[in-house]
Amino acid sequence: MRVTLDGLAFDVDVAGPAAGEPVLLLHGFPHNKESWTETAPLLHAAGLRTIAPDQRGYSPGARPREVSAYALRHLAADALGILDSLDVSTAHVVGHDWGALVGWYLAARHPGRVRTLTALAIPHADAYQHAYRVDEEQRQSSKYVDFLVSPGAADHFLADGAAELYGWFNQLGPGVLTDAQIARYVATHVRPGTLDAALNWYRANDLLGDALDFGPVSVPTTFVYSRTDTAVSELSVKKTQEHVTGPYRLVTLEETSHWQPQQDPVTIATEIIARATDSAP
């Protein structure tokens, strides 16, 4: 379906039992709503209804040119607007990668709209930024961000038949994602304007600074961390608990990579269902 908000048209997949508790699924970079292809059916089987948008920049009809239009407050407003359009007052929020940061923001700034949060791969922003300031491991792990905000990043990824974009998915070794999974994400990002818009998420939000200042999260929260993920340090993971005042669970995956929903959908679905069930009225 298509949801129009302030002149921007978002492509949204809504599926599962109509009467099921709503689960908002927020994808990361460089993915799209198909990030949840393997996970969503498991949630439907558990009686949950899923709402999975192609977020700002990823939906062709929701691609403003200004970098400032991709600030987190706008990304969060999109999520809330999509829920409003579906008459959903509160939802279980699940986010992966940048989608996790939007989820953390929603849970911290709009807790009345978030029943529970399941954040995948990326810790609370305040914990991440603290670790970046004091922890050499996190500074090394974050070096890729400097490249992604550079002017030529999109052209670099798309050159030679998107060779570097294919390489991004294969950086942890062949077989982490299937060829079919990689092909569907590459097919999205080679479309004119998509990758550059996706990179605006990095350009508009100072991930390596200290200005995000999300604040505490009071809603029931699960954070799923992959020990082999090179994007985050142990300190940022440890510090995340200090920024959650509600019930909190840390799940550590020993072998699954950063690409959690694609590589281990059963575990991810299990944790989402457990969090939703634990917090049922």
Mean pLDDT over each residue of the chain, to the nearest integer? 95
Cα–Cα distances in angstroms (integers) from residue 25 to residues 33, 46, 92, 239, in the given order: 8, 15, 9, 25
189 has pLDDT over 50: yes
Nearest-angstrom CA–CA distance, 156 and 121: 25
**pLDDT tens digits, residue range 22-68?**
999 999 999 999 999 999 999 999 999 999 999 999 999 999 999 99
The predicted structure's pLDDT at residue 172: 63
- What pLDDT score was predicted for residue 215? 96
The token duo for 66 is 């200004």
Q: Which residues of 221-247 are buried (b: 16+ CB within 10 A; e: fewer)?
A: bbbbbbeebebbbebbbebbeebbeee
Collapsing DSSP states into helix, strand and coil, what is residue 208? Answer: coil
Looking at the structure of the chain, the number of domains it has is 1
pLDDT at 20: 97
* Residue 103 one-letter amino acid: G
Q: List the one residue out of 228, 220, 233 whose CA is nearest residue 172.
A: 228
pLDDT at 91: 98
Contact (Cβ atoms closer than 8 angstroms) between residue 58 and residue 185:
no
pLDDT tens readout for residues 207-260: 998 889 999 999 999 999 999 998 999 999 999 999 999 999 999 999 999 999
Residue 162, domain extent: 2-278
pLDDT of 281 > 50? The answer is: no
Determine if the peptide bond prior to 30 is cis (ω within 30°).
Answer: yes
Contacts of residue 23, defined as CB under 8 A and 6 or more positions apart, other chains included, come to: 16, 43, 48, 49, 50, 51, 91, 92, 93, 94, 272, 276
Q: Which two tokens stand for residue 140?
A: 């090394």
In sequence order, what are the residues at sequence separation of 6 or more whose Cβ sits closer than 8 angstroms to the Cβ of residue 18?
A: 49
188: its two tokens: 């999205």
Which pLDDT belongs to residue 259?
A: 93
What is the reported pLDDT for 170? 81
Measured CA distances, 83 to 132, 185, 281 (Å):
33, 25, 20
Q: What is the pLDDT of residues 121-172, one digit of tens each?
A: 999 999 999 999 999 999 999 999 999 999 899 999 999 999 999 988 887 6
Contacts of 195 (CB under 8 A, 6+ apart): 30, 154, 157, 158, 165, 189
The tokens for 54 are 């192609």
> What is the per-residue burial (b if ≥16 Cβ within 10 Å, else e) of 83-108?
bebbebebbbbbbbbbbbbbbbbbbb
**What's 36's domain CATH number?**
3.40.50.1820
Q: What is the pLDDT of residue 226?
A: 96
Residue 182 CB coordination number (10 Å): 18
